[in-house]
Amino acid sequence: MALLSYRSKPHCGGQGVYLRHLSRELIDLGHTVEVLSGQPYPELDRDQIHLTKIPSLDLYRDEDPFRTPALREFRDWIDVLEFAHMKTGGFPEPLTFSIRVLRELRSRRRDFDVVHDNQVLGLGNLGIARLGLPLVTSIHHPISVDRRIELEAAEGIKQRLGKRRWYGFVTMQSQVARRIGPVLTVSSSSKVDIVKDFKVDPRDIDILPLGVDTQIFHPRRATGHQGLGERVPGRIVAMASADAPIKGVDVLLRAVAKVATERDVHVIVVSRPQKDGPTARLIRELALGERVRFVNGISDDELGELMASAEIAVVPSRYEGFSLPAVEHMASGTPLVASRAGALPEVVGDAAVLVEPGDVEELAATLRRLHDSPEERARLGAAGLARVQERYAWPAVAQATVRHYRAAITQHRYLRRAAAKP
């Protein structure tokens, strides 16, 4: 099987995490897996997983975003298209990756039984079926939701026009989604949004929740001193893209600023905010100083220890199609506060405290209450851990995904036989 992903950041961003865990579990089930990915390339957990790099111009690399490549870096017309698209304010990667990967698959069509697209939804994907390859597509949630929230947060007509141009690829993804065949999504909430925004036939969409790696995310046993295993007093942890309005980090910081006037609390956000970006400016405005810290580039074990060290975890998003971080917090036995947004109520059930998305006062009041109540924190932590053990496991996700692969292969063969009859 070929797994397609136009960018596969391994530690943040649901698409990269999904690719990493699914590929590992498919290998463990005895399948042959090849990942075809653009930059940033994934970290893969099994030596048997083959990575085929489909390089772009890497125009959005962390250390040099929106860069101008040297002339020698341009290899073909797709590179020219990618650069021109970026220079006019658009985001070209789903389109250009889909064209590049179609070219790769065209020369290797006999190497694969099935192709699984990890939310690329580029025009090139429409050519995959014509190569004789069955295709299954994952849509974690329609990016039209991100576009809507970003536009609502935009200030002034120039910023709104810029956002509209940047999210121009969403129109393409909507068109492709309606024509691509079987779709997997992660929650009932995401299915509703895909039907509403992308106009996909609901009969083409199946719901398959994500899993959590409990070897990384689990409660640590206390050691009798502050360190591995012990909850750090006053520590709040969140994992979110700091400068994306959809993730609600601004709401969390404003709430922590209110709580910090009366309680000894601090927050650690697993993210890399833009230098002098909106989050950095907000921290200065709120005078949070040492009460907020951002971490990134840490190992899996360090991330698991960090999440298990929190007294309270927060997912303050304005929307989530599923939210792996929510499940990872619960797997760590950490009491969770989450927004009543998107799929979060469906994912966490009664194992978290739900607050209105964007409501700073309600979030601050909830943080105060949990800070002051070890009993409620213990109850919520235990409920979250039990929910994860009952519902979210990667081996089960992989087994269910394989059933969808087999169904797609059977359907593809049937359609080919039917088309061949006189």
Whole-number pLDDT of residue 72? 97
Q: Which helix (H) or strand (E) holds 221?
A: none
Regarding pTM above 0.85, the answer is yes
**pLDDT above 60: residue 225:** no
**pLDDT above 50: residue 227:** no
**pLDDT above 70: residue 229:** no
Task: Mean pLDDT check: name the lowest of 90-104, 354-368, 384-398.
Answer: 384-398
Average pLDDT, the chain: 93
Query: Residue 15: which pLDDT band, with cuts at 50, 70 and 90?
Result: confident
Question: Residue 192: helix, strand or coil by DSSP?
Answer: helix
pLDDT, one tens digit per residue, over 288-340 is: 999 999 998 899 899 999 999 999 999 999 999 999 999 999 999 999 999 99
Query: Residue 12: which pLDDT band, with cuts at 50, 70 and 90?
Result: low
Whole-number pLDDT of residue 224? 42
Q: Locate 337 and state its tokens.
A: 């506060």
Task: Mean pLDDT check: name the lowest of 79-88, 190-199, 213-222, 247-256.
Answer: 213-222
**pLDDT > 70: what percent of the chain?**
96
pLDDT, one tens digit per residue, over 259-293 is: 999 999 999 999 988 888 899 999 999 999 999 99
Find the distance separating the first CA and the last CA of the chain, reported in whole Å: 32
Kindly state the greatest CA–CA separation across the chain. 79
Closest-CA residue to 385 (of 267, 217, 223)? 217
What's the half-sphere exposure (Cβ side, CA atoms, 13 Å) at 358? 8
Whole-number pLDDT of residue 380? 97
Task: Mean pLDDT check: name the lowest of 8-12, 210-214, 374-378.
Answer: 8-12
**pLDDT > 90: what percent of the chain?**
85
Whole-number pLDDT of residue 334? 97
DSSP 357-411: TT-HHHHHHHHHHHHT-HHHHHHHHHHHHHHHHHH--HHHHHHHHHHHHHHHHHH
Decide the pairing of beta strands 312-315 and 353-355: unpaired
Whole-number pLDDT of residue 156? 93
Q: Name all domains of the chain by residue range, CATH numbers in brackets.
A: 2-211+394-420 (3.40.50.2000), 235-391 (3.40.50.2000)
Query: Residue 102: which pLDDT band, with cuts at 50, 70 and 90?
Result: very high
> Residue 161: how many CB atoms within 10 A of its CB?
12
- Centroid of chain to Cα 315: 13
Whole-number pLDDT of residue 223? 45
